[in-house]
Each structure stands twice: as C-alpha cells, then as structure tokens.
Amino acid sequence: MSGTPMSAADPRASVAPIPFRRTRRLVFALLVAATTGLGLGTMFRILHVGGLTPLELAILVLFTVTFGWIVIAFWSGIIGFVLSLTGRDPLSLAKASPPSPPDDARSRTALVMPIHNEDVERVAAGLEATCRDLPPITEARRIEAFVLSDSTDADIVARERATMAALQHRLADHCQIHYRHRDSNAGRKAGNLGDFCQRWGQHYDFMLVLDADSLMSGDTVHQLIAEMEANPRLGLLQTVPIPVRQDSLFGRANQFAAAVYSPMLATGLSFWQSDAANYFGHNAIMRVDAFTQHCGLPELPGRPPLGGDILSHDFVEAALLRRAGWEVRMRTDLGGSFEEMPSHILDYAKRDRRWVQGNLQHLRLLGGSGLHMLSRVHFLCGALAYLSSLIWLAILLVSTIDALMRALIEPNFFTSNAQLFPNWPIAPPNLIMPLLGGTLAMLLMPKVLGVCLALRRHPGLYGGRARLVASALLEALFAMLIAPLMMVFHSRFVIEVLSGRTVAWNPQSREGRALPWREALRHTWPGTLAGTFWAWITWWYTPTFFWWLTPVWLGLMLAAPLVRLSSSLTIGRRLRQRGLLLVPSETTPPAVLKGLTLPATVDGNAEPAPPPKERPCDMPLQSFSRDWAHNPPTQEQGIGK
C-alpha cells in the first residue's frame, strides 16, 4: 500500500482520463457568470432610475450574491437532467458501466462507524443489516467492520460493550466486527478516524465511513470497492445518501425531495467538479494510506467558534486529498446508500447550527497553500449555504426600509432654486416582473426537471404519475412556507458564530416524535412577532410592498403551527396511506432496509472480543501556510504556525 498515487507508467494505473475536464469547468463558469451578469444588469437598470441611493446600492450587491447562488444550482440541475435523461456518466460522458478492476486485484476493506453517545441498539441494527447484505467474503476481497466509540456516558459505554459482544456473536459467520472505545473525544469525529488509521489502518487498503444512522446495500459496498481497485489514482469516492425511514410530515417531505432531486443535482455537480468533488463525511470509501498521510487535521489558531478543532472536517479532508494529487470523485448513479435525518424542524435547525459553525471556519482556509481551485469553491459554497440566508434577510430588510422611506418622504422635484421645470422621475423599465419571474423559474426549474425525470423513468416507485405530481406540489408548498423560518434560524446562527458564541456537537436525534405546542411556540415566537409587525407596518404605509412580502410574513406568522404540525407522525403516516410523498425505499424496499430490526435484549455482562493487533503508524498534521510546499509539516506543526 502506498500513500502516493501510482505512476501513469504502471499498467494498473491506465485509467481513462476525464475528458474535457478544464473545458467543462470553463463552460460552466461562463454560463454562471453570464446569467449572473444578466440578472445584475437588469436589477441595476431597475434601481438606477433617478440615481442609486446607498440603500439601493446595498440591495444591488446583496442581490448579486444571492442570484449567483441560485444560478449555480440552476445550471447544475440543467446539466444533471440532460445527463440523467440520456444515461450518461457525468465524468466519462459515456454510457454508464460498472468498474472493471484487474483480475489479480486483492483488497481488505474496513467498514468504520464512529459513534459518540448514540442509540447503540440502532447502531447495531444498521450495521448488522449492512453486513448481512454483503456477498460472501473471499480471499480476494475481505471486508471487516469497526465500531469506533468516543462515548463519554458510562451507562452508554456499558450498553455498547454488551451490544457489540452480542453483534459479534450473531455475525460470526458473516463478517468480523471489532469494537474500540477510547476515553477521549479529542478531535471529535476526525480525531476518532485518525486514531483508527494510526492504530489499525495499515491492515486495510480502504475504509468505508458510515455514520451511526447509515445503511448501505452489499452490492453498493462491492461496487465502491471495485471502483477503488480499478482506479489506483482514486483517493475518495462519495455516494449520494438518501434519507429513509421517515414518518413525520417534515421528514417525509425532505425524504421525497432528496429521492427525486438529489441524484439529478449531484450528477450536474459531478459533471463540473469531476475529480475534485467533495466529501460529505459518511457513506464514502477512501484509500487508507492516502487519508493517513495527507488528512491529519491541525487546529485553527484562535479560540472557538472560528478557531480550535476543524468541525466540518469532511470538506477539508477532500481538499487535502486533492492537494496531494489524489482524485476525489462522486458516484451519482449508484443506489443503495441511505441515511436517516432529524424528524422535525427544530432538530433539523439544531443540526444546522453545528454545521454553520464548521462551514464558516472554512472561510479561513480559502487562502490555504496548494489547494485546488474547486476545493476553495467548496469552502466558499459551504459557507454561502448559510450566509445566503443572512443575505436574503438583509435584502428584505433593506428593501422594506427603502419602500417605507419612499412612502413617508415626499419627493422633491425641484433640486435648485433657479429651476423652472421639475425633474420628473422617469418610470423604471418594464423589467421587474421579468426579473422576478426569471428568478422564480430558476429556483423551481431543478424541481420541475426532477419530477419530469421521475415521470419518465419510474413513476410507479412514487405511487404513480398523479400522486408523484401531487407529492411534488405538496413538497414545494411546504418548502416555501418553512423557508422564512429557516432563513431566520440560519441568520441567527451566523450572527451567533460571528459574535463568538460556540456550540457543543452532541449526537443528533433521529427518532420521530410529535412536538408539543409549548415547545413549538417557545422556539418560534420571536419570528412570529417579527412577521406580524413586518406585515402590519408594510400594510399600513406601503400596501403594494405588503403583497410582495406575503410569502415571508405568512411563513413567519405560521411558524409555530408549521413546526408543530410538520412534526406529526399521524399526518405523515396518513399521507403515506393515501400514496403521497412516497419514495422508492417504501414502495420497493431493498433487502438492507427490510433487514433493519432492533436487536433483542442482550446480556449486560458480556464483553466484546478485543480488536486486532495494532500496526502503529504516524498521521502527520497538515499545514495550510504558504511555506507548505517547501517545508512539509511535522506532528507538532499546525495551521499558521
């Protein structure tokens, strides 16, 4: 095993290069730039009538950032639709075909599942379902599993030991299961994986990282391994995990959206990202030596929230692998990769609060030495995913202030005492509605194309054509109503991080539960109050603008009912009974989902077998400073040092 990509002279490294890699990136960048420029020019012509005020200039700047963000998703969706419709692989642009590893390929793979104070029964159930779905292990391709515990609760650790001992016994004839508990949570998940690589990584060629709620079919696992064997330059291969097992209205709406839209959008992203794709932190396979040698994460200088441990480590690890010359790809046509998600808006927002902090840290790495240009794009887009909410809120507030000022301040048509004729305001060009309609069309087009693709390919998996269309309309309406609330949540989170407030990264809740009204009101009343005041003041002083703001103030005023009702398991299950928001994992569930059952009560005194003998190795910390290329970092060095 080697931590350096094989030479092109090696016959096993003769993998076909990605065609038109630079050209496709250039074309995509030109499409985004041209479309954003058109929107910017139109908005400028609308605002420039009578000259730009400082408020209008602020609106123009904020609009450009938000519009550009929409344009990237729009063109990614268009490209993904065309490639998916024609059955083309987004990288090779040829008809999709399974990988062909060499006949003499030999590999050992570890399914690694880092956990921290998780529901251990669910962990064991998911891992058991995945392992039982694996084809028989052969000498040429061996697969084992590691549960890497960083749990700090003594009772949870005791349950882990007993549950893992029972799991080892049940899977003795299917797959070797190893359990390791470390007393420290140093480095969080990245530190947990790093500890595995340093102690046991040398036993394995590849590691497939699973979250505590991950599920993966055995066929998918083997296809990922085969692609790693077939391409010795491939350092990391990411799948597109789809949410499953959702019962609440909120969970089912998001589950439906992911099933219909995510593979198509991911295909578009893969087209222009090519060999510099991103890593989502789970449901991905990577080359152990490459990860060990190049993904040791340093601490960011300064105090949290923007300093200390790198929290959203996955983006950074993908960037480091690409910097070292390894390919980072995404398989978008491969099913059988699943995850679970929070069942209601408040838990979903709580998870986003952690990601806001981690993704804003990436802004400090934009100037890191030696990084691929697309790695910097990933860092920027990851931050903009949450900054865009604050920008959108700022646009709405500035626009409201501007509208109120125009309503309250009488216009002055005589700007000079010697002026004989008034300066009548020139009517703005008839561009407001085209710009609004074009922006709305770009927002909705990926959803429309995703539904068209599902209608053409397999509508029966979503309950039939009529139910598929009805489900898409229901999901779109729900997404529109909760968007203002999520905007407020994300804006608050960004402001908290930038003002120095940090947050603990605790395990997320994935089990469905209906929220009580008291809890829904406690978390939404400030937004409801703001929405009510916003609606009243615009209705009183500028009724026209009031109607323009309807989607915003309506979503905020309905925040508590939306949070409460969307958490309802009863509503979600009734929709499923009526064939709405159905997804393929429900209509034709794969074997790995059918096999997911919680284990029976286990012997609390049982102890798991010890992990295999260690083969220690170093995992050097990386540096992002400008002297990185000339002075490789040591274990004691970190970023900026």
Q: What is the 3-state secondary structure (H, E, C) of 79-105?
A: HHHHHHHHCECCCCCCECCCCCCCCCC
Q: Is 160 helix (H, G, I), strand (E, B) or coil?
A: helix
pLDDT at residue 633 tops 80? no
pLDDT tier for residue 45 given thresholds of 50, 70 and 90: confident
Confidence of residue 232 (pLDDT cuts 50, 70, 90): very high
Strands (E), 283-442: 284-287, 327-330, 337-339
Is the pLDDT at 417 greater than 60? The verdict is: no
Residue 493: band (very low, low, confident or very high) from pLDDT cuts 50, 70, 90: very high
**Would the pLDDT of 412 be above 90?**
no
Q: In the numeric block, which tokens belong to residue 489?
A: 């949540």
Burial 436-469 (b: 16+ CB within 10 A, else e): eebbeebeebbbebbbebbeeeebebbbeeebbe
pLDDT of 504 reads 66
Token duo for residue 41: 């020019």
DSSP code, position 206: E
DSSP classification of residue 11: G
The fold of 107-346+592-598 is: Spore Coat Polysaccharide Biosynthesis Protein SpsA; Chain A (3.90.550)
Q: How confident is the model at residue 509 (pLDDT cuts 50, 70, 90)?
A: low
User: What percent of the chain stands above pLDDT 90?
Assistant: 75
In this prediction, residues 455-479 reach a mean pLDDT of 96
* Percent of the chain residues topping a pLDDT of 70: 89
pLDDT in tens, 154-211: 999 999 999 999 999 999 988 999 999 998 888 899 999 999 999 999 999 999 999 9
- pLDDT score, position 511: 63
* 286 phi/psi in degrees, rounded to 5: -145, 160
Predicted TM-score (pTM) of this structure? 0.91
Query: What are the pLDDT digits (tens) for 65-98?
Result: 999 999 999 999 999 999 999 999 999 998 878 8
Q: What is the pLDDT of residue 431?
A: 74
Q: Which sequence spans correspond to the domains of the chain?
A: 107-346+592-598
**Residues whose CB falls within 8 Å of the CB of residue 50, separated by 6 or more in sequence, listed in order:** 425, 426
**In angstroms, what CA-CA distances link 68 with 60, 232, 251, 269, 564?**
12, 36, 29, 15, 34
Section 328-332 average pLDDT = 96
Over 90: is that where the pLDDT of 391 sits? yes
What are the φ/ψ torsions at residue 542 (nearest 5 degrees)? -145, 80
Cis preceding linkage at 305, omega within 30:
yes
Which pLDDT tens digit goes with each residue over 524-533?
999 999 999 9
Mean local confidence (pLDDT), 6-24: 65
Structure tokens at 563: 């949070």
Residue 149 forms beta bridges with which residues?
A: 115, 181
Tokens 């058109």, located at residue: 38
If pLDDT is split at 50, 70 and 90, which confidence band does 508 have? low
pLDDT at residue 10 is higher than 50 = no
3-state secondary structure of 395: helix
Considering the chain, what is the average pLDDT of its residues?
89
Better-predicted residue by pLDDT, 607 or 359: 359
**pLDDT recorded at residue 501:** 87
What pLDDT score does 628 carry?
Answer: 54
What does the chain come to in residues?
641
**What distance in Å separates the CA atoms of residue 502 and residue 498, rounded to the nearest whole number?**
10
**Short-list 297, 304, 402, 404, CA closest to 358:** 304
Residue pLDDT, tens place only, 85-141: 999 999 999 887 888 888 888 999 999 999 999 999 999 999 999 999 998 888 889
Instruction: Measure the CA–CA gap between 359 and 311, rounded to whole angstroms.
Output: 8
The answer to whether the CB of 328 falls within 8 A of the CB of 278 is yes
